[in-house]
Protein backbone atom coordinates (compact mmCIF):
# COMPACT_ATOMS: atom_id res chain seq x y z
CA UNK A 1 0.00 0.00 0.00
CA UNK A 2 0.96 3.61 -0.48
CA UNK A 3 0.24 4.98 2.98
CA UNK A 4 1.40 8.26 4.52
CA UNK A 5 2.03 9.24 8.13
CA UNK A 6 -1.46 10.80 8.33
CA UNK A 7 -3.05 7.44 7.51
CA UNK A 8 -4.15 8.31 3.98
CA UNK A 9 -3.85 5.59 1.36
CA UNK A 10 -3.13 6.54 -2.25
CA UNK A 11 -5.05 4.41 -4.74
CA UNK A 12 -5.51 6.96 -7.52
CA UNK A 13 -2.49 7.43 -9.80
CA UNK A 14 -2.15 10.40 -12.19
CA UNK A 15 0.38 9.75 -14.92
CA UNK A 16 1.61 12.68 -16.98
CA UNK A 17 2.58 11.46 -20.44
CA UNK A 18 4.04 14.72 -21.77
CA UNK A 19 4.57 18.29 -20.66
CA UNK A 20 3.81 19.59 -24.18
CA UNK A 21 0.52 21.03 -25.28
CA UNK A 22 -1.25 22.35 -28.35
CA UNK A 23 -3.10 25.04 -26.35
CA UNK A 24 -1.73 27.80 -24.15
CA UNK A 25 -4.45 28.29 -21.52
CA UNK A 26 -3.62 31.54 -19.73
CA UNK A 27 -4.05 29.99 -16.24
CA UNK A 28 -1.62 27.21 -17.12
CA UNK A 29 1.07 28.19 -19.62
CA UNK A 30 2.72 31.35 -20.93
CA UNK A 31 2.26 32.25 -24.59
CA UNK A 32 5.82 31.19 -25.34
CA UNK A 33 9.15 30.59 -23.67
CA UNK A 34 8.32 27.52 -21.58
CA UNK A 35 11.13 24.96 -22.04
CA UNK A 36 9.99 21.38 -22.70
CA UNK A 37 11.49 18.37 -20.98
CA UNK A 38 14.35 16.96 -23.05
CA UNK A 39 13.26 13.77 -24.87
CA UNK A 40 15.82 11.45 -23.24
CA UNK A 41 14.42 12.40 -19.84
CA UNK A 42 10.89 11.31 -20.76
CA UNK A 43 9.83 7.85 -19.68
CA UNK A 44 9.51 5.47 -22.61
CA UNK A 45 6.21 3.63 -23.15
CA UNK A 46 7.77 0.51 -21.60
CA UNK A 47 8.89 2.47 -18.55
CA UNK A 48 5.44 4.03 -18.10
CA UNK A 49 3.77 0.62 -18.30
CA UNK A 50 6.28 -0.92 -15.90
CA UNK A 51 5.67 1.81 -13.30
CA UNK A 52 1.89 1.52 -13.68
CA UNK A 53 2.23 -2.27 -13.27
CA UNK A 54 4.25 -1.84 -10.06
CA UNK A 55 1.69 0.68 -8.77
CA UNK A 56 -1.24 -1.63 -9.54
CA UNK A 57 0.16 -5.04 -8.62
CA UNK A 58 2.45 -4.11 -5.68
CA UNK A 59 1.14 -0.84 -4.30
CA UNK A 60 -2.65 -1.07 -4.34
CA UNK A 61 -3.41 1.52 -7.02
CA UNK A 62 -6.88 0.92 -8.48
CA UNK A 63 -7.40 3.94 -10.73
CA UNK A 64 -5.03 5.33 -13.32
CA UNK A 65 -5.61 8.65 -15.08
CA UNK A 66 -3.42 9.73 -17.98
CA UNK A 67 -2.82 13.45 -18.27
CA UNK A 68 -0.22 16.04 -19.20
CA UNK A 69 0.45 18.52 -20.86
CA UNK A 70 -1.84 17.16 -23.51
CA UNK A 71 -1.82 13.33 -23.35
CA UNK A 72 -3.32 12.95 -26.85
CA UNK A 73 0.00 14.32 -28.16
CA UNK A 74 1.75 11.18 -26.91
CA UNK A 75 2.12 8.91 -29.97
CA UNK A 76 2.02 5.67 -27.95
CA UNK A 77 -1.07 6.54 -25.88
CA UNK A 78 -3.40 3.80 -27.21
CA UNK A 79 -0.67 1.17 -26.75
CA UNK A 80 0.00 2.30 -23.17
CA UNK A 81 -3.73 2.15 -22.41
CA UNK A 82 -4.03 -1.32 -23.95
CA UNK A 83 -1.13 -2.68 -21.91
CA UNK A 84 -2.43 -1.15 -18.68
CA UNK A 85 -5.87 -2.64 -19.39
CA UNK A 86 -4.27 -6.12 -19.34
CA UNK A 87 -2.99 -5.73 -15.79
CA UNK A 88 -4.44 -7.81 -12.98
CA UNK A 89 -6.24 -6.49 -11.05
CA UNK A 90 -7.53 -4.40 -13.95
CA UNK A 91 -7.28 -0.71 -12.98
CA UNK A 92 -9.93 1.79 -13.99
CA UNK A 93 -8.40 3.82 -16.82
CA UNK A 94 -9.25 7.43 -17.63
CA UNK A 95 -7.86 10.40 -19.49
CA UNK A 96 -7.85 14.15 -18.88
CA UNK A 97 -7.57 15.97 -22.19
CA UNK A 98 -8.28 19.27 -23.87
CA UNK A 99 -10.23 17.24 -26.43
CA UNK A 100 -8.22 18.28 -29.50
CA UNK A 101 -7.74 15.13 -31.57
CA UNK A 102 -10.31 13.16 -29.60
CA UNK A 103 -12.71 13.15 -32.55
CA UNK A 104 -10.14 10.99 -34.37
CA UNK A 105 -8.97 8.85 -31.46
CA UNK A 106 -11.92 8.25 -29.12
CA UNK A 107 -12.97 4.97 -30.77
CA UNK A 108 -9.45 3.49 -30.76
CA UNK A 109 -8.87 4.55 -27.15
CA UNK A 110 -12.15 2.94 -26.09
CA UNK A 111 -11.14 -0.26 -27.89
CA UNK A 112 -7.75 -0.16 -26.20
CA UNK A 113 -9.56 -0.22 -22.84
CA UNK A 114 -9.99 3.40 -21.81
CA UNK A 115 -13.02 3.69 -19.52
CA UNK A 116 -13.70 7.41 -19.24
CA UNK A 117 -12.54 10.89 -20.25
CA UNK A 118 -12.53 14.34 -18.69
CA UNK A 119 -12.48 17.05 -21.32
CA UNK A 120 -11.46 20.56 -20.31
CA UNK A 121 -13.62 23.32 -21.76
CA UNK A 122 -14.02 26.72 -20.14
CA UNK A 123 -16.34 28.51 -22.53
CA UNK A 124 -19.00 27.92 -25.18
CA UNK A 125 -17.93 30.97 -27.16
CA UNK A 126 -15.25 30.52 -29.82
CA UNK A 127 -13.88 34.06 -29.39
CA UNK A 128 -13.49 33.59 -25.65
CA UNK A 129 -11.92 30.19 -26.22
CA UNK A 130 -9.34 31.86 -28.44
CA UNK A 131 -8.61 34.49 -25.80
CA UNK A 132 -8.35 31.91 -23.02
CA UNK A 133 -6.29 29.27 -24.84
CA UNK A 134 -4.53 31.50 -27.40
CA UNK A 135 -5.61 29.06 -30.12
CA UNK A 136 -8.65 29.02 -32.42
CA UNK A 137 -9.67 25.38 -31.90
CA UNK A 138 -13.00 25.52 -30.08
CA UNK A 139 -14.80 23.50 -32.74
CA UNK A 140 -12.33 20.61 -32.40
CA UNK A 141 -12.99 20.35 -28.67
CA UNK A 142 -16.76 20.17 -29.24
CA UNK A 143 -16.22 17.48 -31.89
CA UNK A 144 -13.99 15.58 -29.45
CA UNK A 145 -16.70 15.66 -26.80
CA UNK A 146 -19.31 14.29 -29.18
CA UNK A 147 -16.93 11.53 -30.30
CA UNK A 148 -16.16 10.57 -26.69
CA UNK A 149 -19.85 10.13 -25.94
CA UNK A 150 -20.46 8.18 -29.14
CA UNK A 151 -17.49 5.92 -28.36
CA UNK A 152 -19.00 5.11 -24.94
CA UNK A 153 -16.31 6.83 -22.86
CA UNK A 154 -18.98 7.66 -20.32
CA UNK A 155 -19.79 9.48 -18.22
CA UNK A 156 -18.05 12.24 -20.18
CA UNK A 157 -16.93 14.83 -17.65
CA UNK A 158 -16.21 18.44 -18.53
CA UNK A 159 -13.76 20.49 -16.43
CA UNK A 160 -14.13 24.27 -16.45
CA UNK A 161 -11.96 26.95 -14.88
CA UNK A 162 -13.56 30.38 -14.56
CA UNK A 163 -11.43 33.49 -14.98
CA UNK A 164 -12.40 36.93 -13.70
CA UNK A 165 -13.88 39.15 -16.41
CA UNK A 166 -13.22 36.57 -19.09
CA UNK A 167 -15.74 33.79 -18.57
CA UNK A 168 -17.01 34.30 -15.00
CA UNK A 169 -20.44 35.18 -16.38
CA UNK A 170 -20.78 31.77 -18.04
CA UNK A 171 -21.34 29.13 -15.33
CA UNK A 172 -25.12 28.86 -15.81
CA UNK A 173 -24.80 28.75 -19.59
CA UNK A 174 -22.15 26.04 -19.34
CA UNK A 175 -24.33 24.01 -16.98
CA UNK A 176 -27.45 24.27 -19.16
CA UNK A 177 -25.36 23.12 -22.13
CA UNK A 178 -23.78 20.22 -20.19
CA UNK A 179 -27.16 19.03 -18.90
CA UNK A 180 -28.58 19.16 -22.43
CA UNK A 181 -25.75 17.00 -23.77
CA UNK A 182 -25.50 14.64 -20.80
CA UNK A 183 -21.99 15.79 -19.83
CA UNK A 184 -21.04 15.91 -16.14
CA UNK A 185 -19.77 19.42 -15.52
CA UNK A 186 -17.28 20.29 -12.79
CA UNK A 187 -15.90 23.74 -12.05
CA UNK A 188 -12.33 23.88 -10.76
CA UNK A 189 -11.07 26.82 -8.73
CA UNK A 190 -8.02 28.34 -10.32
CA UNK A 191 -4.89 27.25 -8.45
CA UNK A 192 -1.41 28.82 -8.16
CA UNK A 193 0.17 26.38 -10.61
CA UNK A 194 0.62 28.50 -13.72
CA UNK A 195 4.10 28.61 -15.22
CA UNK A 196 4.15 32.39 -15.19
CA UNK A 197 3.25 32.66 -11.45
CA UNK A 198 0.42 35.09 -12.20
CA UNK A 199 -2.22 33.62 -9.85
CA UNK A 200 -3.78 36.08 -7.41
CA UNK A 201 -6.13 34.97 -4.69
CA UNK A 202 -8.21 38.17 -4.95
CA UNK A 203 -8.78 37.54 -8.65
CA UNK A 204 -9.81 33.93 -8.25
CA UNK A 205 -13.45 33.00 -8.90
CA UNK A 206 -14.37 31.10 -5.74
CA UNK A 207 -16.62 28.06 -5.36
CA UNK A 208 -19.04 30.19 -3.30
CA UNK A 209 -19.33 32.70 -6.15
CA UNK A 210 -19.85 29.97 -8.75
CA UNK A 211 -22.56 28.37 -6.64
CA UNK A 212 -24.28 31.70 -6.12
CA UNK A 213 -24.41 32.26 -9.87
CA UNK A 214 -25.68 28.76 -10.54
CA UNK A 215 -28.30 29.00 -7.80
CA UNK A 216 -29.79 32.04 -9.54
CA UNK A 217 -30.78 29.80 -12.47
CA UNK A 218 -31.07 26.26 -11.06
CA UNK A 219 -32.20 24.60 -7.89
CA UNK A 220 -29.15 22.87 -6.36
CA UNK A 221 -29.34 20.23 -3.64
CA UNK A 222 -26.27 18.43 -2.20
CA UNK A 223 -26.03 15.00 -3.78
CA UNK A 224 -24.67 13.22 -0.72
CA UNK A 225 -24.98 15.44 2.29
CA UNK A 226 -21.73 15.40 4.31
CA UNK A 227 -20.27 12.44 2.40
CA UNK A 228 -17.64 13.85 0.18
CA UNK A 229 -15.30 10.85 0.61
CA UNK A 230 -12.06 11.16 -1.32
CA UNK A 231 -13.78 12.74 -4.34
CA UNK A 232 -12.46 16.28 -4.71
CA UNK A 233 -15.68 17.52 -6.30
CA UNK A 234 -18.59 18.43 -4.10
CA UNK A 235 -21.66 17.62 -6.14
CA UNK A 236 -25.16 19.03 -6.37
CA UNK A 237 -28.25 17.66 -8.03
CA UNK A 238 -29.47 20.09 -10.66
CA UNK A 239 -33.22 20.84 -10.50
CA UNK A 240 -33.79 17.65 -8.51
CA UNK A 241 -31.54 15.45 -10.71
CA UNK A 242 -30.53 13.14 -12.21
CA UNK A 243 -28.12 15.73 -13.68
CA UNK A 244 -25.41 16.92 -11.31
CA UNK A 245 -22.81 19.66 -11.15
CA UNK A 246 -19.52 19.49 -9.25
CA UNK A 247 -17.26 22.14 -7.81
CA UNK A 248 -13.65 21.39 -6.99
CA UNK A 249 -12.76 24.02 -4.40
CA UNK A 250 -9.08 23.17 -4.06
CA UNK A 251 -8.28 26.61 -2.69
CA UNK A 252 -11.26 27.65 -0.55
CA UNK A 253 -12.37 24.18 0.64
CA UNK A 254 -9.35 21.90 0.28
CA UNK A 255 -9.87 18.14 0.46
CA UNK A 256 -6.34 17.22 1.56
CA UNK A 257 -7.56 15.19 4.52
CA UNK A 258 -9.20 12.67 2.20
CA UNK A 259 -6.63 12.82 -0.61
CA UNK A 260 -5.98 9.43 -2.23
CA UNK A 261 -3.67 10.57 -5.05
CA UNK A 262 -0.14 9.86 -6.13
CA UNK A 263 1.44 11.40 -9.20
CA UNK A 264 4.03 10.43 -11.74
CA UNK A 265 5.54 13.08 -14.00
CA UNK A 266 6.44 12.46 -17.63
CA UNK A 267 10.12 12.31 -16.61
CA UNK A 268 9.50 9.64 -14.00
CA UNK A 269 9.34 11.64 -10.75
CA UNK A 270 6.85 10.68 -8.07
CA UNK A 271 5.04 13.59 -6.45
CA UNK A 272 2.92 12.92 -3.38
CA UNK A 273 0.97 16.18 -3.85
CA UNK A 274 0.15 18.66 -6.61
CA UNK A 275 1.78 21.33 -4.44
CA UNK A 276 4.77 19.29 -3.27
CA UNK A 277 8.19 20.89 -3.61
CA UNK A 278 10.01 17.55 -3.43
CA UNK A 279 9.99 14.69 -5.92
CA UNK A 280 11.35 11.16 -5.90
CA UNK A 281 13.28 10.07 -8.96
CA UNK A 282 12.06 6.69 -10.21
CA UNK A 283 13.49 7.14 -13.72
CA UNK A 284 17.09 6.97 -12.53
CA UNK A 285 16.24 3.93 -10.42
CA UNK A 286 14.62 2.22 -13.43
CA UNK A 287 17.55 3.04 -15.69
CA UNK A 288 20.13 1.83 -13.21
CA UNK A 289 18.58 -1.62 -12.99
CA UNK A 290 16.43 -1.38 -9.86
CA UNK A 291 14.12 -4.35 -9.28
CA UNK A 292 10.33 -3.91 -9.04
CA UNK A 293 10.67 -4.37 -5.28
CA UNK A 294 13.24 -1.59 -5.02
CA UNK A 295 11.14 0.78 -7.14
CA UNK A 296 8.07 0.01 -5.04
CA UNK A 297 10.07 0.74 -1.87
CA UNK A 298 11.10 4.15 -3.24
CA UNK A 299 7.48 4.93 -4.11
CA UNK A 300 6.33 3.91 -0.62
CA UNK A 301 8.98 6.11 0.99
CA UNK A 302 7.93 9.04 -1.24
CA UNK A 303 4.33 8.63 -0.07
CA UNK A 304 5.17 8.39 3.61
CA UNK A 305 6.45 11.98 3.69
CA UNK A 306 3.27 13.48 2.22
CA UNK A 307 2.36 16.68 4.06
CA UNK A 308 -0.99 17.00 5.82
CA UNK A 309 -2.15 19.79 3.53
CA UNK A 310 -1.33 21.82 0.45
CA UNK A 311 -0.13 24.76 2.56
CA UNK A 312 -2.07 27.16 0.34
CA UNK A 313 -3.40 29.03 3.35
CA UNK A 314 0.00 29.36 4.97
CA UNK A 315 1.59 32.79 4.48
CA UNK A 316 4.89 30.99 3.76
CA UNK A 317 3.30 29.05 0.84
CA UNK A 318 5.62 28.80 -2.15
CA UNK A 319 4.36 27.69 -5.53
CA UNK A 320 6.05 24.45 -6.68
CA UNK A 321 8.84 24.96 -9.21
CA UNK A 322 7.04 22.86 -11.84
CA UNK A 323 3.88 24.25 -13.45
CA UNK A 324 0.65 22.25 -13.75
CA UNK A 325 1.43 21.30 -17.35
CA UNK A 326 4.62 19.54 -16.24
CA UNK A 327 3.19 17.99 -13.07
CA UNK A 328 0.10 16.53 -14.71
CA UNK A 329 -3.22 18.02 -13.60
Q: Using CB under 6 A as the criterion, which residues of the chain lie in contact with ligand SAM when the complex forms? A: 21, 27-28, 67-68, 70, 96-98, 120, 159, 161, 188, 190-191, 193-194, 324-325, 329
Nearest to ligand SAM of 26, 303 (CB atom): 26
Nearest to ligand SF4 of 134, 307 (CB atom): 134
Min separation Cβ 292 and ligand SAM, Å: 28
**Helical segments of the chain, H only:** 45-58, 77-85, 102-112, 126-133, 138-150, 171-181, 207-215, 282-287, 292-304, 324-327
- Which listed option, ligand SF4, ligand SAM, none, makes contact with residue 91 (CB within 5 to 8 Å by class)? none
Query: For residue 95, what are the CA distances in angstroms to 4, 82, 151, 163, 261?
Result: 26, 13, 14, 24, 15
| Near ligand SF4 in 120-149, by CB under 6 A | 120
- Residue 318, number of CB atoms within 10 A of its CB: 10
Nearest to ligand SF4 of 16, 262 (CB atom): 16
Nearest to ligand SAM of 298, 320 (CB atom): 320
Min separation Cβ 201 and ligand SF4, Å: 20
Query: For residue 316, what are the CA distances in angstroms to 66, 138, 294, 307, 310?
Result: 32, 39, 35, 15, 12
Nearest to ligand SF4 of 24, 307 (CB atom): 24
Min separation Cβ 233 and ligand SF4, Å: 17
Nearest to ligand SF4 of 98, 303 (CB atom): 98
Per-residue x/- marks for ligand SF4, 190-219, CB under 6 A? ------------------------------
Q: Kindly give, in sequence order, each residue whose CB lies less than 8 Å from that of residue 219, ignoring residues fewer than 6 positions away.
A: 238, 239, 240
From 92, 83, 6, select the one nearest 51 (Cα to Cα).
83
167 binds ligand SF4 (CB under 6 A): no
- Which listed option, ligand SAM, ligand SF4, none, makes contact with residue 195 (CB within 5 to 8 Å by class)? none
From 113, 127, 204, 124, select the one nearest 171 (Cα to Cα).
124
Q: Kindly give, in sequence order, each residue whose CB lies less than 8 Å from that of residue 73, ignoring residues fewer than 6 positions away.
A: 18, 20, 21, 22, 101
Contact 263, 274 (CB under 8 A): yes
Pairing of the two strands 234-238 and 220-222? antiparallel
69 binds ligand SF4 (CB under 6 A): yes
- Which listed option, ligand SAM, ligand SF4, none, makes contact with residue 151 (CB within 5 to 8 Å by class)? none
Give the up-direction half-sphere exposure of residue 143: CA atoms within 13 A in the CB hemisphere. 10
- Which listed option, ligand SAM, ligand SF4, none, makes contact with residue 29 (CB within 5 to 8 Å by class)? ligand SF4
Nearest to ligand SAM of 236, 275 (CB atom): 275
Q: Which residues in this chain contact ligand SF4 in the complex, by CB under 6 A?
A: 21, 23-25, 28-29, 68-70, 98, 120, 325
Amino acid sequence: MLIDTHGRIATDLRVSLTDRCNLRCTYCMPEEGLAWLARPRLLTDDEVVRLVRIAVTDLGVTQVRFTGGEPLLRPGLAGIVARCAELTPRPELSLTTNGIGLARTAGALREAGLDRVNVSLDTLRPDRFKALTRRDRHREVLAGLTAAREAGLEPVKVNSVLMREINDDEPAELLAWAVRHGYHLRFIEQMPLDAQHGWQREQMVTAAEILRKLAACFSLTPERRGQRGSAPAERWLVDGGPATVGVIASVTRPFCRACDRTRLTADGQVRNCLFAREETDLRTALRSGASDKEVAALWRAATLGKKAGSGLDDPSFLQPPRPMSAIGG
